[in-house]
Amino acid sequence: MKTPITVSVTGAAGNIGYALLFRIASGSMFGPEQPVNLRLIEIEPGMKALQGVIMELDDCAFPLLNDVVATSDLEEGFKGANWALLVGSVPRGPGMERGDLLKVNGGIFTGQGKAIAATAADDVRVLVVGNPCNTNALIAMNSAEGVPNDRFFAMTRLDENRAKSQLAAKGGVHNSDITNMCIWGNHSATQYPDYTNAKINGKPVTETITDTEWLQGEFISTVQQRGAAIIKARGASSAASAANGVVDTVRSLTNPTPEGDWTSIAVCSDGSYGIDAGLIASMPIRVDAEGNWDVVPGVELDAFSKEKLDATVQELRDEKAAVADLL
Ligand code: NAX
């Protein structure tokens, strides 16, 4: 048997966890030949529900699922992890300010960063999903001494997929006809889905969709507000599509990017595109045949795009300032 890949998942008994674990165990994430170990991390109140989820995993008799561990001990949970998927976080409660939320979650991600540094595998890669995911990733990265910054990611793939689907519907084409869709900045309502560089069948989006008012207005706001629209319609936040975004992100980071295309992942900025070095910001990423990722250089940003990018980067700066004592 191939050596299993060990995947740690926090918030494993939550909604996204429930949609995600079965995708990982079935082979969607690492392919049909690759066995996996799951190390599932929950806080104490979530442990009973987690046992139920594990019973369901057992009942799938997945051929690729080698081992499952459930724990609320972080060092135990991240032991030997090749991938740490940080999904769990504290939701914003009534009357809670964004700054309070940043601090509460900040405490969680400090501890998780330290535990990852202490017990994860040497090649560990960390994908943060729990919100506010960019800043949570920033905190985890700064707390994980000895783990290189380029191993930390925050998820904007769900936003990218949402943007592709909106463009496809408007343009009367298939999702797979849309390439080069980049979400810039923060995974929040300030994110910038960049239609100016996206392509439909290899040509600028504006050749198919000529309604600039829609592109600059409704398209962007629909993508930015899609999470809230789903809560309104479903009575619960996006879970299956978020889990799918996690699967897509890991697949994109472990497989070469198709020629000429890119994908959106929030990574530690090196200062590209005027984004302060050290911020975790979403930008266009390519992955080579060896599995190394790079920010795509030379993407042109017009005045409209620059203004949108500035706004979302400013929000990331503000978030960073709010948790400065944790960095
Ligand atoms: P749920 O509330 O259903 O589940 C969260 C789970 O995390 C719970 O079971 C809880 O017990 C657990 N948890 C809380 N603190 C923990 C800790 N310190 N260690 C381990 N587990 C802990 O939320 P769910 O719908 O699964 O969403 C999870 C997170 O994903 C939220 O922060 C949500 O805002 C975020 N999302 C991020 C998205 C993205 O694109 N980056 C999109 C979807 C989603 O909104």
DSSP, collapsed to helix, strand or coil, labels residue 69 as strand
Q: Is the preceding omega at residue 132 within 30 degrees of 0, hence cis? A: yes
Residue minimizing CA distance to atom 9 of ligand 1: 14
Residue 98 has pLDDT above 90, yes or no: no
Task: Taking the CA atoms of 255, 143, 154 and 280 in sequence, report the sign of the dihedral they define.
Answer: negative
Average pLDDT over residues 214-230: 95
Average pLDDT over residues 74-102: 87
R_g over Cα of the chain: 19
Active site annotation includes 174: no
- Give me the pLDDT at residue 177, please: 98
Q: Are 116 and 82 within 8 A, CB to CB?
A: no
Which run of H or E residues covers position 40?
strand 36-41
- Give me the pLDDT at residue 99, please: 76
CA dihedral angle for residue 103, residue 151, residue 126, residue 184, rounded to 10 degrees: 70
pLDDT band (50, 70, 90) for residue 271: very high
Out of 89, 134, 143, give the residue to mutate to test ligand 1, the one with the largest number of ligand atoms within 8 Å of its CB.
Answer: 89
Residue 222 has pLDDT above 80, yes or no: yes
Alpha-carbon distances of 197 from 158, 202, 215, rounded to whole Å: 18, 11, 12
DSSP, collapsed to helix, strand or coil, labels residue 293 as strand
Whether 132 is in the pocket of ligand 1, judged by its Cβ within 6 Å, is: no
Residue minimizing CA distance to atom 25 of ligand 1: 15
- Give me the pLDDT at residue 103, please: 82
- Give me the pLDDT at residue 101, please: 82
| Mean pLDDT computed over every residue of the chain | 96
Alpha-carbon distances of 230 from 43, 162, 233, 235, rounded to whole Å: 26, 12, 5, 8
Residue 263 has pLDDT above 90, yes or no: yes
pLDDT band (50, 70, 90) for residue 316: very high
Residue owning tokens 């995708």: 23
DSSP, collapsed to helix, strand or coil, labels residue 62 as coil
Residues 6 or more apart whose Cβ sits within 8 Å of residue 144: 113, 114, 116, 117, 126, 152
Residue owning tokens 């084409």: 173
129 C-alpha to ligand 1 centroid (Å): 8
Q: Could you read off the pLDDT of 104-160 as tens digits, one per residue?
A: 888 899 999 999 999 999 999 999 999 999 999 999 999 999 999 999 999 999 999
Q: Could you read off the pLDDT of 50-87 as tens digits, one per residue?
A: 999 999 999 999 999 999 999 999 999 999 999 999 99
Whether 193 is in the pocket of ligand 1, judged by its Cβ within 6 Å, is: no
Which run of H or E residues covers position 192?
strand 192-194
Q: Are 24 and 68 within 8 A, CB to CB?
A: no
